Amino acid sequence: MEHRIIKVFIFLFGLHLFPTIAFAQTDSLVKIERIFYDTRIVNGHSVEVNEANDLKFIIAHRFGKLNGGFYELFGLDQATLRMGLDYGLTNWLTLGIGRSSFEKTYDAYFKTAIVKQKSGKNSSPVALSFFSSISLKGQKWADTSRINYFTSRLTYAFQFQIARSFGERLSLQIMPSLIHRNLVATSTDHHDVFSLGFASKIKLSKKISINAEYYYLLPSQLDNDYRNSLAIGFDINTGGHVFQLHFGNSRGMIEKFFITETTGKWTKGDVFFGFNITRSFSL
Protein backbone atom coordinates (compact mmCIF):
# COMPACT_ATOMS: atom_id res chain seq x y z
CA MET A 1 0.00 0.00 0.00
CA GLU A 2 2.78 2.45 0.96
CA HIS A 3 4.69 1.84 -2.28
CA ARG A 4 1.56 2.55 -4.33
CA ILE A 5 0.94 5.79 -2.46
CA ILE A 6 4.47 7.11 -2.95
CA LYS A 7 4.35 6.23 -6.66
CA VAL A 8 1.14 8.26 -7.01
CA PHE A 9 2.67 11.23 -5.20
CA ILE A 10 5.85 11.08 -7.31
CA PHE A 11 3.84 10.83 -10.54
CA LEU A 12 1.58 13.77 -9.66
CA PHE A 13 4.46 15.92 -8.49
CA GLY A 14 6.61 15.11 -11.50
CA LEU A 15 3.68 15.72 -13.83
CA HIS A 16 2.92 19.17 -12.48
CA LEU A 17 6.03 20.60 -10.85
CA PHE A 18 8.16 21.47 -13.85
CA PRO A 19 5.86 22.07 -16.81
CA THR A 20 6.70 24.58 -19.50
CA ILE A 21 4.43 27.50 -18.73
CA ALA A 22 4.25 30.73 -20.69
CA PHE A 23 3.87 33.46 -18.08
CA ALA A 24 2.74 36.90 -19.16
CA GLN A 25 5.84 39.08 -19.42
CA THR A 26 4.86 42.20 -17.53
CA ASP A 27 6.83 44.45 -15.26
CA SER A 28 4.66 43.55 -12.27
CA LEU A 29 4.89 40.34 -10.24
CA VAL A 30 1.75 38.52 -9.09
CA LYS A 31 2.36 36.43 -5.97
CA ILE A 32 0.17 33.38 -5.41
CA GLU A 33 -1.90 34.22 -2.32
CA ARG A 34 -1.55 30.95 -0.39
CA ILE A 35 -0.50 27.50 -1.52
CA PHE A 36 -1.82 25.91 1.70
CA TYR A 37 -4.39 27.28 4.14
CA ASP A 38 -1.99 27.14 7.09
CA THR A 39 1.63 26.68 8.14
CA ARG A 40 0.90 22.99 8.89
CA ILE A 41 -0.36 20.34 6.48
CA VAL A 42 -1.15 17.62 9.03
CA ASN A 43 1.86 16.89 11.23
CA GLY A 44 4.51 18.50 9.06
CA HIS A 45 5.04 22.09 7.99
CA SER A 46 3.82 23.60 4.76
CA VAL A 47 5.79 26.11 2.72
CA GLU A 48 3.76 28.94 4.27
CA VAL A 49 5.16 31.39 6.84
CA ASN A 50 3.43 33.95 9.03
CA GLU A 51 3.05 37.53 7.91
CA ALA A 52 5.12 40.06 9.88
CA ASN A 53 3.81 40.56 13.45
CA ASP A 54 1.26 37.75 13.11
CA LEU A 55 1.11 35.42 16.13
CA LYS A 56 -0.45 31.97 15.89
CA PHE A 57 -1.52 29.85 18.84
CA ILE A 58 -1.73 26.18 17.84
CA ILE A 59 -3.36 23.43 19.89
CA ALA A 60 -2.84 19.93 18.52
CA HIS A 61 -4.35 16.70 19.86
CA ARG A 62 -3.75 13.08 18.93
CA PHE A 63 -5.97 10.42 20.45
CA GLY A 64 -5.24 6.72 20.82
CA LYS A 65 -5.47 4.00 18.19
CA LEU A 66 -8.82 3.39 16.54
CA ASN A 67 -8.31 -0.36 16.95
CA GLY A 68 -8.49 0.10 20.74
CA GLY A 69 -12.16 -0.70 20.32
CA PHE A 70 -15.19 0.39 22.32
CA TYR A 71 -13.45 -0.17 25.68
CA GLU A 72 -11.00 2.66 24.81
CA LEU A 73 -13.80 4.50 22.95
CA PHE A 74 -11.77 3.97 19.77
CA GLY A 75 -8.85 5.92 21.17
CA LEU A 76 -10.72 8.87 22.67
CA ASP A 77 -9.80 7.76 26.22
CA GLN A 78 -6.15 8.47 25.42
CA ALA A 79 -4.69 11.71 24.14
CA THR A 80 -1.42 13.54 23.66
CA LEU A 81 -1.24 17.31 23.35
CA ARG A 82 1.07 19.89 21.82
CA MET A 83 0.65 23.62 22.40
CA GLY A 84 2.72 26.05 20.39
CA LEU A 85 3.25 29.67 19.45
CA ASP A 86 4.42 30.82 16.01
CA TYR A 87 5.44 34.42 15.39
CA GLY A 88 6.16 36.19 12.12
CA LEU A 89 9.28 38.22 12.80
CA THR A 90 9.19 39.43 9.20
CA ASN A 91 7.18 38.50 6.10
CA TRP A 92 9.77 35.84 5.33
CA LEU A 93 10.90 34.58 8.78
CA THR A 94 8.76 32.73 11.33
CA LEU A 95 9.92 31.60 14.78
CA GLY A 96 8.10 28.98 16.85
CA ILE A 97 8.14 27.19 20.19
CA GLY A 98 6.06 24.34 21.56
CA ARG A 99 5.65 21.73 24.22
CA SER A 100 4.31 18.17 23.72
CA SER A 101 2.95 15.95 26.47
CA PHE A 102 4.41 13.00 24.54
CA GLU A 103 7.78 12.37 26.26
CA LYS A 104 7.39 15.86 27.80
CA THR A 105 9.18 17.31 24.78
CA TYR A 106 10.03 20.97 24.15
CA ASP A 107 10.75 22.20 20.63
CA ALA A 108 11.78 25.40 18.90
CA TYR A 109 12.15 26.18 15.22
CA PHE A 110 12.62 28.79 12.54
CA LYS A 111 11.28 28.77 8.98
CA THR A 112 12.32 31.16 6.26
CA ALA A 113 10.62 31.74 2.91
CA ILE A 114 13.40 31.81 0.33
CA VAL A 115 11.27 32.10 -2.82
CA LYS A 116 7.55 32.63 -3.25
CA GLN A 117 5.56 31.43 -6.24
CA LYS A 118 4.68 34.31 -8.56
CA SER A 119 3.97 35.04 -12.18
CA GLY A 120 5.04 37.87 -14.47
CA LYS A 121 8.55 39.05 -15.27
CA ASN A 122 11.22 37.26 -13.18
CA SER A 123 8.54 34.75 -12.24
CA SER A 124 9.02 31.70 -10.04
CA PRO A 125 7.02 28.53 -10.76
CA VAL A 126 7.50 27.21 -7.20
CA ALA A 127 7.78 28.41 -3.62
CA LEU A 128 10.75 27.38 -1.49
CA SER A 129 11.15 27.53 2.29
CA PHE A 130 13.77 26.19 4.70
CA PHE A 131 12.87 24.82 8.13
CA SER A 132 15.11 23.88 11.06
CA SER A 133 14.15 22.77 14.57
CA ILE A 134 15.60 21.50 17.83
CA SER A 135 13.70 19.33 20.31
CA LEU A 136 14.49 18.43 23.91
CA LYS A 137 13.17 15.30 25.61
CA GLY A 138 12.01 16.28 29.08
CA GLN A 139 11.30 12.84 30.55
CA LYS A 140 13.37 11.61 33.48
CA TRP A 141 16.21 9.31 32.52
CA ALA A 142 15.19 5.65 32.43
CA ASP A 143 18.60 4.56 33.78
CA THR A 144 19.98 6.95 36.40
CA SER A 145 22.91 4.68 37.29
CA ARG A 146 24.85 5.66 34.17
CA ILE A 147 26.21 9.04 33.07
CA ASN A 148 23.46 10.87 31.19
CA TYR A 149 24.42 13.93 29.18
CA PHE A 150 22.15 16.89 28.51
CA THR A 151 23.07 16.75 24.80
CA SER A 152 21.60 13.23 24.66
CA ARG A 153 18.17 14.82 25.06
CA LEU A 154 18.50 16.79 21.83
CA THR A 155 17.29 16.01 18.31
CA TYR A 156 17.61 18.28 15.26
CA ALA A 157 15.53 18.50 12.09
CA PHE A 158 16.35 20.18 8.77
CA GLN A 159 13.95 20.39 5.85
CA PHE A 160 13.39 22.13 2.53
CA GLN A 161 9.80 22.65 1.40
CA ILE A 162 9.24 23.01 -2.34
CA ALA A 163 5.63 23.67 -3.29
CA ARG A 164 3.49 24.75 -6.20
CA SER A 165 -0.13 25.78 -6.58
CA PHE A 166 -1.83 24.59 -9.77
CA GLY A 167 -4.77 26.94 -10.04
CA GLU A 168 -7.41 27.16 -7.33
CA ARG A 169 -7.87 23.45 -6.66
CA LEU A 170 -4.54 21.64 -6.40
CA SER A 171 -1.34 22.26 -4.46
CA LEU A 172 1.63 19.88 -4.15
CA GLN A 173 4.73 19.93 -1.97
CA ILE A 174 7.91 17.88 -1.63
CA MET A 175 10.05 17.88 1.55
CA PRO A 176 13.62 16.52 1.58
CA SER A 177 14.32 16.03 5.31
CA LEU A 178 17.18 15.16 7.67
CA ILE A 179 16.76 14.18 11.32
CA HIS A 180 19.88 14.09 13.51
CA ARG A 181 19.58 12.23 16.82
CA ASN A 182 22.33 12.79 19.38
CA LEU A 183 21.41 9.61 21.26
CA VAL A 184 20.44 6.32 19.60
CA ALA A 185 19.53 2.99 21.17
CA THR A 186 22.46 0.93 19.88
CA SER A 187 25.84 1.51 18.23
CA THR A 188 24.49 0.18 14.94
CA ASP A 189 21.63 2.72 14.75
CA HIS A 190 21.99 5.73 12.50
CA HIS A 191 22.32 9.16 14.07
CA ASP A 192 21.26 10.77 10.77
CA VAL A 193 17.98 9.71 9.15
CA PHE A 194 17.01 10.93 5.68
CA SER A 195 13.46 10.98 4.38
CA LEU A 196 11.51 12.41 1.46
CA GLY A 197 8.10 13.85 2.20
CA PHE A 198 5.22 14.44 -0.21
CA ALA A 199 2.06 16.44 0.43
CA SER A 200 -1.01 17.59 -1.42
CA LYS A 201 -4.02 19.86 -0.95
CA ILE A 202 -7.20 19.51 -2.97
CA LYS A 203 -9.63 22.38 -2.49
CA LEU A 204 -13.20 21.16 -2.12
CA SER A 205 -14.84 24.55 -1.55
CA LYS A 206 -13.88 28.12 -0.70
CA LYS A 207 -13.18 27.19 2.95
CA ILE A 208 -12.53 23.42 2.93
CA SER A 209 -9.69 21.31 1.54
CA ILE A 210 -8.53 17.71 1.84
CA ASN A 211 -4.85 17.31 2.69
CA ALA A 212 -2.47 14.37 2.66
CA GLU A 213 1.18 13.91 3.62
CA TYR A 214 3.55 10.96 3.35
CA TYR A 215 7.15 10.64 4.55
CA TYR A 216 9.23 7.98 2.85
CA LEU A 217 12.22 6.74 4.84
CA LEU A 218 15.23 5.84 2.73
CA PRO A 219 16.01 2.12 3.15
CA SER A 220 18.24 0.53 5.82
CA GLN A 221 18.20 3.45 8.25
CA LEU A 222 15.80 2.30 10.97
CA ASP A 223 14.67 -0.96 12.51
CA ASN A 224 11.93 -2.86 10.65
CA ASP A 225 9.43 -1.95 13.39
CA TYR A 226 9.32 1.64 12.15
CA ARG A 227 6.97 2.72 9.35
CA ASN A 228 6.58 5.53 6.88
CA SER A 229 4.25 8.22 8.19
CA LEU A 230 0.97 8.69 6.30
CA ALA A 231 -1.79 11.12 7.29
CA ILE A 232 -4.98 12.35 5.60
CA GLY A 233 -7.32 15.07 6.80
CA PHE A 234 -9.49 18.11 6.19
CA ASP A 235 -8.77 21.81 6.63
CA ILE A 236 -11.66 24.10 7.54
CA ASN A 237 -10.70 27.76 7.20
CA THR A 238 -12.99 30.16 9.06
CA GLY A 239 -10.81 33.27 8.73
CA GLY A 240 -9.36 33.79 12.20
CA HIS A 241 -9.24 30.05 12.87
CA VAL A 242 -8.12 27.02 10.90
CA PHE A 243 -9.51 23.66 12.05
CA GLN A 244 -7.69 20.56 10.86
CA LEU A 245 -9.24 17.10 11.37
CA HIS A 246 -7.17 14.10 10.34
CA PHE A 247 -6.21 10.44 10.61
CA GLY A 248 -2.65 9.10 10.58
CA ASN A 249 -0.38 6.32 11.80
CA SER A 250 1.86 8.68 13.82
CA ARG A 251 1.16 9.78 17.37
CA GLY A 252 3.88 12.40 17.80
CA MET A 253 3.45 15.88 16.31
CA ILE A 254 7.02 17.04 15.63
CA GLU A 255 9.53 15.77 13.06
CA LYS A 256 11.49 13.72 15.60
CA PHE A 257 8.40 11.63 16.26
CA PHE A 258 6.48 11.27 13.02
CA ILE A 259 9.49 10.85 10.70
CA THR A 260 11.71 8.52 12.75
CA GLU A 261 9.43 6.95 15.39
CA THR A 262 6.20 5.98 13.61
CA THR A 263 5.21 2.38 14.37
CA GLY A 264 1.52 2.30 13.40
CA LYS A 265 0.24 0.17 10.53
CA TRP A 266 -2.79 1.41 8.62
CA THR A 267 -3.63 -2.16 7.60
CA LYS A 268 -3.91 -3.20 11.28
CA GLY A 269 -5.97 -0.22 12.38
CA ASP A 270 -3.05 1.50 14.12
CA VAL A 271 -4.55 4.85 13.15
CA PHE A 272 -4.78 7.91 15.37
CA PHE A 273 -7.56 10.46 15.02
CA GLY A 274 -6.44 14.01 15.77
CA PHE A 275 -7.01 17.69 15.22
CA ASN A 276 -5.16 20.99 15.09
CA ILE A 277 -6.74 24.33 15.96
CA THR A 278 -4.92 27.48 14.88
CA ARG A 279 -5.89 30.94 16.12
CA SER A 280 -4.22 33.95 14.51
CA PHE A 281 -3.59 37.31 16.17
CA SER A 282 -2.24 40.44 14.54
CA LEU A 283 0.05 42.32 16.92
Whether residue 24 is contained in a domain is answered as: no
- The pLDDT assigned to 72 comes to 79
Whether residue 99 is contained in a domain is answered as: yes
Whether residue 25 is contained in a domain is answered as: no
pLDDT, average across residues 104-130: 92
pLDDT, average across residues 251-274: 92
Q: Which of 132, 129, 188 is nearest to 155 (CA)?
A: 132
Q: Kindly report each contact of residues 224-230 with a partner whose C-beta sits within 8 Å and lies 24 or more positions away, as own/partner.
A: 225/263, 226/260, 226/261, 226/262, 226/263, 227/2, 227/262, 227/263, 227/264, 227/265, 228/2, 228/6, 228/262, 229/43, 229/258, 229/259, 229/262, 230/2, 230/5, 230/266
Residue ranges making up the domain that contains 220: 2-18+33-282
- The pLDDT assigned to 24 comes to 34
Confidence of residue 189 (pLDDT cuts 50, 70, 90): confident
Confidence of residue 66 (pLDDT cuts 50, 70, 90): confident
Least confident of 106-115, 156-165, 239-248: 239-248
Least confident of 5-19, 122-136, 142-156: 5-19
The tens digit of pLDDT for each residue in 118-142 reads 887 778 999 999 999 999 999 988 8
- The pLDDT assigned to 16 comes to 41
The tens digit of pLDDT for each residue in 23-42 reads 333 334 556 668 998 899 99
Count of domains for the chain: 1
Does the pLDDT at position 178 exceed 60? Answer: yes
- The pLDDT assigned to 258 comes to 94
Q: For the chain, give the secondary structure using H, E and C.
A: CHHHHHHHHHHHHHHHHCCCCCCCCCCCEEECCCCCCCCECCCCECCCCCCCCEEEEEEEEEEEEHHHCHHHHHHCCCEEEEEEEEEECCCCEEEEEEEECHHHEEEEEEEEEEECCEEECCCECCEEEEEEEEEEECCCCCCCCCCCCHHHHEEEEEEEEEEEEECCCEEEEEEEEEEEECCCCCCCCCCEEEEEEEEEEEECCCCEEEEEEEEEECCCCCCCCCCCEEEEEEEEECCCEEEEEEEECCCCCCHHHHHHCCCCCHHHCCCEEEEEEEEEEEC
Whether residue 26 is contained in a domain is answered as: no
Whether residue 161 is contained in a domain is answered as: yes
Q: What is the CATH number of the domain that holds 195?
A: 2.40.160.40
Average per-residue pLDDT for the chain:
86
Contact 232, 276 (CB under 8 A): no
Does the pLDDT at position 84 exceed 90? Answer: yes
Whether residue 23 is contained in a domain is answered as: no
Least confident of 17-26, 109-118, 156-165, 198-207: 17-26
